[in-house]
Structure 1
Amino acid sequence: MLTDTPVTFFLPAALRADKTHPRYTEFYVVATTCVFGIALLFVGAAVMRYVGLPPLGLYINAALAGGILLSMRWFGHYRIPMSLTAIGSVFIIYGFIRNTGMIFSINVNLLHMYLVVALLADKKWGWTGVLVCLGALVYVYFQTPAVPSGMHPASLTSNPLYALSLHVFIAVFIGGALAYGHYTGEQSRLTIHALQNQKISLLDEAVRQRTEQLNTMRQAVAADFHDETGNVLAAITRQAALLEMQLCDQPEVLPILKAISDNSNRLYASSKDFLWDLHHESDQPEVLFQYLTAYGQQYYNQFDIAFSAELIGEDGGGQLPPFASLNLIYIFKEAMGNVVKHAGATEVTLALRPAAHEVTYILQDNGRWAEPEGSTGHYGLQNMRHRCQKHHLGFGLHTDANGTRIEITAPVHTTFIS
């Protein structure tokens, strides 16, 4: 809409870009009323100047409304300047009424306009405008002469009490109608909000049950597959070992049998990683960290390399993206292997550093890796970079006199359903 820009300009900074803020609608309605009110006041001032009447009161009223807008933008509140504007408006309107016939003046209608604006601008306290309007009408009535000059004393319209009664009826009717409309609208909004919350609760429960069902299925599939695959691979390894013993006098087939045994063990290790990733907690950063720590301890025990693990800060919870855990396992297994093969390190540390919306896994050693050359690279660094780029993971390689550090950063998202 055309008015969105000027209205939004006067909203508090915290609300301008957040339409979901609980008080956004409240401030937006007040700002909209003030912007339109100022525009109409200037139009009215132009009309008054055209007919030869002083428009000063309307300019003052516009300035007071502008004060509400500035207070919202600079200080984030409007109640005090709005109250001052309401009081000032009553005095300005009374000035118009006093000079044009008091309770019989056509300018009394300005009090009804004042009431409408009060109820539209402030849904919470706008009803007080009804009391202010009625009080102003009563005051004007007592300031009105008994019979205006030029009117017949017996005429009903010449009775100030009749004029007061009519204006009171109009004020009560307008105020009651708008107040009732606001009340029913608020009740409808609360009813819709309650229904939305009920639907959300039902959806949350359905998703929770479905998640539990999927987790149960994943674990069952993983367990069955692990048992079946493990049995087959163990059988292949045993058979290869038996053949190696029986064919020890045929050295030309021994490398083949050894390759079968090695590939079987390697396939078993890879299937363990894949099946672990199917577990419902594998997407939790700290669970993955514990898995990598266990692997690092077992792996480096084969070599004269000291291994330790460190959690930097507190785990903030959340979940890793799909497939991130499995790729992080592949990356750090390759990195741990390269430390043994090419870094010449004697100490290795694995660390987890959680942050607000991401986690960083760090592998630090006291050796030095060779930098990749050209487009092919060495020691798997190029493969790690490519895997990180493909799965939107951050990759960092830092080398100095103290050793080499690899940092892999992965995003995490909050878990809403437990």
Structure 2
Amino acid sequence: MANDLYGREKRLKKLLNEVRPILRRYVIYLKLQGLGIARQLKHLENVTLFERRNLKGRRLESVSFKMFRKAFEKFILSDKLDNDTKYVYRISLKKFYEFLLKENNGKERKRKRTWKQILNYLKEIKIKSTEPDIEVLTEDEFRRLYEAAEDYQTRALLSVLYEVGPRVGELLSCRIKDVMVYDSYVEINVSGKTGQGRLIIIKAYRDVVNHLQNHPFKNNPEAPLWYMVRSNRFLPLSYNALRMRIKRLARKTGIKRRIWLHLFRHTAATEKASYLTDREMCVVFRWSKNSRMPAKYAHLAQRNIKEKLLSLYDSNEFQVLKPKTSRCWKCGEILPSEKIRYCPRCGVPLQTNKIYEMIMKRREADDLMDRLMSDPRVRKVISEVLYEMIYSETVEGFASSPKEPLPSKEGKSGGRNDV
């Protein structure tokens, strides 16, 4: 419960006490499939809400195929929810009927036939994803938030959120030992919704290092990376505490629109979609291999490129306009050229796409080597080659070393010196 940043364990426990036994077994089924607390809670909430709002008091396990299809079609055609939410509801219901078929294997043949019909129907339904209609956080807005922050920790948090857009729960659960500092970038090991991963931090390098150097428990590897002080006690930083901190900064800087934590992730994904491949996007943002998210953000990145291209021309005469002044994303310094790699004022990296590409290629090479070394046949071949190399070097060393002179005949036969 200590790491329950969003209160999901508490909500799930409360909901399990309210639902009927078959839904409790459904949650156990989801847990055995490897789903985390967040997914268990979401699927259970979706199933219970759909049942309550659309089936008029009937239960999912006893409803007829005709009634279910009518209710689901009405649900799909409704304008109250966006397509992404409907898509998740479909997954929740599909998993529930898969659970029913496995739970009642060989029992209740008539119901089993109905469940199969409903499951096949849900599999055939195609729901088009919704394009995110969210205005990203601008460099000016980020800079105002950053300059308003008064401590190393808040500045590091803002920089990391803005650059790599991690899931907030993954970031806040990190400890000191999860941070690895290299010459030009930092990696933070995270664990969350899709397993373990690493955040590659380039722009926020100096802010993270400053935070580590000024951390009150920097010598304790198990200490939380992000902390708050309550009643003279150091505690792990909570989701609500960070949310309120960002909200206060926005109010302090005069930013009128709503700034929420997930907006940082949306901003980072939109920016990186312009130069990372779909596979690399899945790695960086820890999405599943079959995720539809890279396609969404690739489309948003193309839209932003179109707007930038159109802004270079006068709409009336189609004449090329003067290039806009380029500024540092962090301190706002006017840059003498767009080709320079580091800000002359604050020293942050300005062109990170090449560094990201280099890191991703190195990571792919490391992963390939790990897979190769896990194969006993490969290890055997490598050991044989190493043995031959060492043996040949040893033989060559003996052959090239000066030979010792042979003993003289006098010494052998006991000549004059023996007398």
TM band (smaller chain): under 0.3
More helix by share: 1
Greater relative contact order: 1 or 2 (C-alpha under 8 angstroms, separation 6 or more)? 2
TM-score normalized with structure 2 length: 0.21
TM-score (norm 1): 0.21
